[in-house]
């Protein structure tokens, strides 16, 4: 991966871990996510309009836009459910890591993208580091308390990860047909509209969410679509497997946030897993 896409995915990783942490702190993560994406979509509208005037929406891009809207609507629902039922430093690595594991395989099947030996090693190290994070002593004790069954947060995190893998491939192909700015605007708008019936049925809870977290919703709105916009630009410059693996540097930040901010367990085991992830990201950075 060359310097430009690497810089984009690192910036996306910082923003992504930050807005996810803010969502986890919300009264209701789904309502927080819907609110922040709604506001972000309004903020990006002027920039999208300029691109629409310049080139419109190519017919070839429409199937990808419609597919990613449906996938992202489910992604936000699943992510909100995962945060409502699980720890941030466990849910986040599972959701992100499953995408890292699946995208290179799916990209080979559907996009004919082949990773180099160094790139494949990097992706493997990222997945290994995520496994180390998931099976930290805290996670083992939690699993034992549930007698080996998956908690609701973990189950929803797995659904989230599957969705991430799916929309990553769709978006890799989609931004080859439509500029990333109008693409992400349509993505955000469609996701908000699809989730609106479920959200607006809980108007009082939504009002309380805005009352309690208006400033953090505003902060998150400047981060969430911006973070993914950086990823969409990176998709134009590098292979999907490398981009998805490189942005998982955010897992390092999530491990630290979960331990120090949310008090979810000792920092040292989480940093050990994060170090393996960093090694994988370094391999991806130098891969071609």
pLDDT at 45: 93
pTM, rounded to two decimals: 0.81
In angstroms, the CA 199 to CA 126 distance is 35
**Among 18-22, 29-33, 223-227, 241-245, which stretch is predicted with the lowest mean pLDDT?**
241-245
Identify the band that residue 142 occupies on the pLDDT scale cut at 50, 70 and 90: low
What is the DSSP code string of 236-255?
A: HHS-HHHHHHHGGGHHHHHH
For the segment 160-184, the average pLDDT, to the nearest whole number, is 91
Identify the band that residue 76 occupies on the pLDDT scale cut at 50, 70 and 90: very high
Contact 154, 86 (CB under 8 A): yes
Identify the band that residue 150 occupies on the pLDDT scale cut at 50, 70 and 90: low
Residue 40 CA to its chain's centroid (Å): 16
For the segment 210-221, the average pLDDT, to the nearest whole number, is 94
């Amino acid at each position: 991966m060359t310097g430009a896409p690497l810089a984009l995915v690192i910036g996306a990783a910082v923003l992504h871990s930050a807005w996810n942490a803010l969502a986890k702190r919300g009264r209701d993560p789904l309502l927080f996510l819907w609110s922040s994406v709604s506001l972000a979509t309004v903020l990006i509208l002027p920039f999208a309009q300029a691109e629409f005037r310049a080139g419109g929406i190519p017919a070839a891009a429409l199937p990808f836009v419609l597919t990613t809207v449906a996938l992202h609507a489910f992604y936000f629902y699943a992510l909100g459910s995962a945060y409502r039922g699980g720890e941030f430093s466990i849910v986040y690595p599972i959701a992100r890591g499953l995408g890292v594991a699946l995208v290179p395989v799916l990209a080979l099947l559907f996009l004919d993208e082949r990773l180099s030996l160094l790139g494949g090693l990097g992706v493997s190290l990222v997945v290994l580091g995520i496994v180390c994070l998931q099976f930290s002593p805290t996670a083992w004790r939690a699993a034992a308390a549930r007698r080996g069954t998956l908690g609701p947060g973990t189950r929803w995190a797995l659904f989230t990860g599957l969705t991430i893998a799916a929309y990553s491939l769709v978006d890799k192909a989609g931004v080859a047909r439509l500029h990333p700015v109008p693409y992400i605007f349509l993505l955000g708008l469609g996701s908000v509209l699809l989730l609106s019936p479920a959200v607006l049925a809980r108007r009082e809870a939504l009002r309380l969410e805005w009352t309690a977290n208006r400033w953090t919703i505003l902060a998150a709105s400047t981060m969430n679509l911006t973070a993914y916009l950086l990823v969409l630009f990176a998709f134009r410059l590098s292979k999907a497997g490398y981009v998805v693996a490189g942005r998982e540097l955010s897992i390092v930040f999530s491990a630290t946030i979960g331990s120090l901010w949310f008090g979810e367990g000792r920092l040292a085991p989480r940093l050990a897993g994060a170090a393996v992830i960093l090694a994988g990201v370094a391999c991806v950075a130098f891969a071609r």
